[in-house]
Structure 1
Amino acid sequence: MLLSLFSSSVTNCALISSLLLTPRRTSPASPFFLRKVITRAISFCITTSTMSVNLQAHAFAGNPLRSTIPKPGDPFSPSSALETLRSRLMESTSSNQLISPSFQVLPFRKGRPLASSVDGDGGDASEPNWHLGWIGLADCRGYLAKSGVELTAESLVFLGFMPDEDVVYWAIDVSSENSLVPELGGKRLCFVELRTLMVAADWTDDRAMADLAIAGHARALLEWHKLSRFCGSCGANTVPAEAGRRKQCSNETCKARVYPRIDPVIFMLSFSFCDCSVIDFGFSGILVQPGESLEEAVRRETFEEAGIEVGEVVYHSSQPWPVGPNSMPCQLMVGFFAYAKTLEINVDKTELEDAEWHSREEVQKALSLAEYKKAHTTAAAKVEQMCKGVEKGQSLSADFNVESGELAPMFFPGPFAIAHHLISSWVNGKSTIGVGGRQPSTSLSNL
């Protein structure tokens, strides 16, 4: 049987977690699957089973840009690139676009990256693809100048460079410049919610997946810059340092260094012996407390929310998650397989509303009925409409209907979420994302 958990915590609904628990052979021999269902964000929970298998990377992972280089004097290092940036911003012409290295800028507005949409191969409008809306440094300066804003080096954040390209990439927050929206819209560029781009990403398109990782990294950095305006030690203003990769206190007597923060959130899948398994996933996360290991956090939170005692905890994979709440600019989702020592469920009503049990077969059927491909094409079409300036006032969830006519008995996060990979790994008896060659002491095929 499957245990469905219905969350009642509003504050936790912004995060995603997945918890897999497994009782040992001393437990009753019946299959279990624990699922936390969150009523919000259902629009992101429809998928196709074909996309849930053989994915080799998580969304927002695999950023192709390099941000460090062994030689500080190299033109692609953050310090050298920043000095070159300052020099070019002092020039009054746009001829520097032809000088090596060239600079490309990705604007963000209220957390939304600039994107463009093109028809699929062969001009097939039914399969649009989106890409990031990079603009040249001179063009970026020109757009801002029309709004009466002078582009400065301190307003740009260094993202990195491509090893095989003569280009340095930057990000900038233009949330306060309203005039840029129609200006860029005339060039079929628009600011799109990162979650929408996440669903719209074509998993077979390497460029789209790379763009998603770059956009996630850039958004996390820009959001962190907004949150770290003041020193946590003395309260003075902070200023960007190292091309925006860190900040420093402006107080000469303090000069504290401030680095981008990461908020670890745990996804856990719990297995029992043979076919038994308990999985807890949903839009709520296990936040690690100070002085606590990840494994300890898994055991503590599982017992607190579901009353289940956890034994062995085995690492599965991790995923950057830059689309959480603005107060947590970059969460790091950490997935684990864990083994439950008890089966009895004792729900904490302050965290969960209810819990039910379901079998592996029911979970497998639900995955087979879900339609991720339709969610992808719907989101991709929405991005295309937005870039054309004729966005439909339609919710993504409105198009998440099951073509077979049979409704899935439960909903899962899409293949863009680590929770999905943990669940599909268990259902298929194997891991779709590498676990560093290490498997739990009990084979996944036997769980």
Structure 2
Amino acid sequence: MPQPANPEPAPDFDSMLSRKFGPEVANYFSGSPLNRVGFLRHDHTFLSQALRHPSTQFLLCKDLQPLLHATQPGRLGFVKHAVVEPVMGEDPYASTEADIMAVWNSTTYTPQMIFLGIDEKAAEGLRYKNKKNTYSGAPYFAVDVTPRASVKAACEKLIEGLEAKGLGFATGRVMDIEAHDAAIYAEARQLLDWNARNPFCAQCGQPTLSVNGGFKRTCPPKDLARAGSGTAGTLSTTAAAPVDETERPPCATRKGVSNVSFPRTDPTVIMAVANHAGDKLLLGRQKRWPPHWYSTLAGFAEPAESIEEAVRREVYEEAGVYVGRVVIHSTQPWPYPANLMIGAVGQATPEGERIDLGNDPELDDAKWFDFGEVREALRVGTSGLGEEAGPEYKEGGLRLPPSTAIAHQLMVSVVNGFVSAQPKM
């Protein structure tokens, strides 16, 4: 299957940075065409107008899988407000956030919705002016239409209607759609998944409410679901004193600046490690991978650890190799479920190149590969997991990840001169 192209990097103006470090590298799942205008997420007047504007696009997700275009392979399928309105119900932004919390009932199910941003290049878009500036663009939202709870029937009817028109939802990891669509989906998936994983307050255990366009969750002081339950949040010693049963127990998250829960992103290091001579690359493989398939090493950064330290620790733990100098190459948002892949290039110390897999059993094998062998594999032996390599690939040769993987970009960089400064490809 042909791999989609990676997004275009930022414009490479003649600058000190571009002259010294070369052009920026943009990886798959980055390069979103949307301006997130995060400072407007709390503005319910803006969100309400954006919700119903004729230019607004809705990305529907079922079980976190996106709707695909019916006739354009590699593109997402977006719908208009009229299509998704039966599932969404009334305008969720018709009231202010404070008013919504005052009448919030945790037992009432509402499909999760995320405000993704605006496409400022759209020919026809919403024009919104706040106190200081005017913002123009086509708004984008993501909506979870997984059939469940009170909207189960409405979601099933919606999905049946889409399927009757030839539309369907993706299966498996979505790595074969156009780059800009992939970036939009990555934002949608990560926020939908985070909201689904965090329905309760980590401090008091009470249900939380999604706010700020889906980018925060708060622990409201009241919940109408408590009315009549006999579980008053505040008990009085005076029998005549009224008791508001909707009040919830005190929670530390309602005080100071820590009054909300923010989306989680897990920093992960992934590194191409060259030997000290600068002519071999360290690659490893997991047992579950296809035969002859190798990639760069990777692992989670730990608390109180710099990225450089994380690179050195992970390489030592997994392969027993000692790394000296480390430089950051590029990064990649990875929405499975919430990683930021921080790509780095490292170089082994002169006496630290011996491979030892005895520290951590994660790898099935690790080897030093000549740059030439890696370059040839990058030319003929790349594909997605479970897919066939190119027609020039010879059985038994090295297999590597596709161009949409940051590991691929790291390997290309190293074997083409990032380390040796002598381009060979």
Q: TM-score, normalised by structure 1?
A: 0.65
Q: By how many angstroms is 1:137 displaced?
A: 1.2
Give yes or no for contact 2:381–2:393 (8 Å, CA) kept in 1: no
Distance, in Å, in 1 between the alignment partners of 2:186 and 2:172 is 8
Give the equivalent residue in structure 2 for 1:11: none
Q: Which moved more, 1:236-245 or 1:171-180?
A: 171-180
Give the equivalent residue in structure 1 for 2:293: none
Distance, in Å, in 1 between the alignment partners of 2:194 and 2:59 is 16
Q: Which amino acid aligns with 2:399?
A: F
Give yes or no for contact 1:246–1:259 (8 Å, CA) kept in 2: yes
| Alpha-carbon spacing, 1:47–1:141, altered in 2? closer, same or farther (3 Å) | closer
Give yes or no for contact 1:370–1:408 (8 Å, CA) kept in 2: no
The question of 1:357 aligning with 2:319 is answered: no
Q: By how many angstroms is 1:222 displaced?
A: 0.3
Give yes or no for contact 1:313–1:336 (8 Å, CA) kept in 2: yes
Q: By how many angstroms is 1:235 displaced?
A: 1.2
Distance, in Å, in 1 between the alignment partners of 2:76 and 2:311 is 37
Equivalent residue in structure 2 for 1:137, among 78, 81, 87: 81
More helix by share: 1
Equivalent residue in structure 2 for 1:291, among 295, 304, 324: 304
Q: By how many angstroms is 1:336 displaced?
A: 0.6
The question of 1:369 aligning with 2:380 is answered: yes
SS of the counterpart of 2:369? coil
Distance, in Å, in 2 between the alignment partners of 1:360 and 1:215 is 35
Q: Which amino acid aligns with 2:81?
A: L
Give the equivalent residue in structure 1 for 2:41: 78
Equivalent residue in structure 2 for 1:220, among 180, 185, 190: 190
Give the equivalent residue in structure 2 for 1:407: 395
Write out aligned runs for 1:315-334 (5 A): 315-322=328-335, 324=336, 329-334=337-342
Give the equivalent residue in structure 1 for 2:146: 175
Give yes or no for contact 1:105–1:169 (8 Å, CA) kept in 2: yes
Give the equivalent residue in structure 2 for 1:116: 69
Distance, in Å, in 1 between the alignment partners of 2:306 and 2:201 is 27
Q: By how many angstroms is 1:50 displaced?
A: 12
Larger RCO of the pair (alpha carbons < 8 Å, separation 6+)? 1
Write out aligned runs for 1:223-372 (5 A): 223-251=193-221, 253-254=250-251, 255=254, 256-280=259-283, 285-322=298-335, 324=336, 329-341=337-349, 342-348=352-358, 350-370=361-381, 372=383
Give the equivalent residue in structure 2 for 1:211: 181
Distance, in Å, in 2 between the alignment partners of 1:50 and 1:213 is 10
The 4+ residue runs of structure 1 with deviation greater than 6 A are 46-51
Give yes or no for contact 1:48–1:369 (8 Å, CA) kept in 2: no
Structure 2: stretches of 5+ with no match in the other structure: 8-22, 94-109, 126-137, 148-154, 223-249, 287-296
Q: Which moved more, 1:152-161 or 1:275-284?
A: 275-284
SS of the counterpart of 2:56? strand
- What are the superposed Cα offsets for residues 346-382 of structure 1, whole Å, 9 maximum, x if unpaired? 113522223333322222222222255xx7xxxxxxx
Q: By how many angstroms is 1:104 displaced?
A: 2.1
| Alpha-carbon spacing, 1:337–1:273, altered in 2? closer, same or farther (3 Å) | same
SS of the counterpart of 1:178? helix
Q: TM-score, normalised by structure 2?
A: 0.68
Equivalent residue in structure 2 for 1:68, among 26, 37, 49: 37
Give yes or no for contact 2:25–2:330 (8 Å, CA) kept in 1: no
- What are the superposed Cα offsets for residues 286-332 of structure 1, whole Å, 9 maximum, x if unpaired? 1111111111111111111111111111010000001x2xxxx3100
- What are the superposed Cα offsets for residues 191-235 of structure 1, whole Å, 9 maximum, x if unpaired? 113624x2x23xxxxxx2111100111100000001111111111
The question of 1:59 aligning with 2:69 is answered: no
Give yes or no for contact 1:266–1:334 (8 Å, CA) kept in 2: yes
Distance, in Å, in 2 between the alignment partners of 1:161 and 1:185 is 28
Percent identity of equivalent pairs:
31
- What are the superposed Cα offsets for residues 14-40 of structure 1, whole Å, 9 maximum, x if unpaired? xxxxxxxxxxxxxxxxxxxxxxxxxxx
Equivalent residue in structure 2 for 1:418, among 406, 412, 415: 406
Give yes or no for contact 2:201–2:208 (8 Å, CA) kept in 1: yes
Q: Which amino acid aligns with 1:164?
A: K
SS of the counterpart of 2:31? coil
- What are the superposed Cα offsets for residues 222-260 of structure 1, whole Å, 9 maximum, x if unpaired? 000011111111111111111212111124633231111
Give yes or no for contact 2:61–2:146 (8 Å, CA) kept in 1: yes
Q: By how many angstroms is 1:79 displaced?
A: 3.2
| Alpha-carbon spacing, 1:287–1:302, altered in 2? closer, same or farther (3 Å) | same
Q: By how many angstroms is 1:407 displaced?
A: 2.6
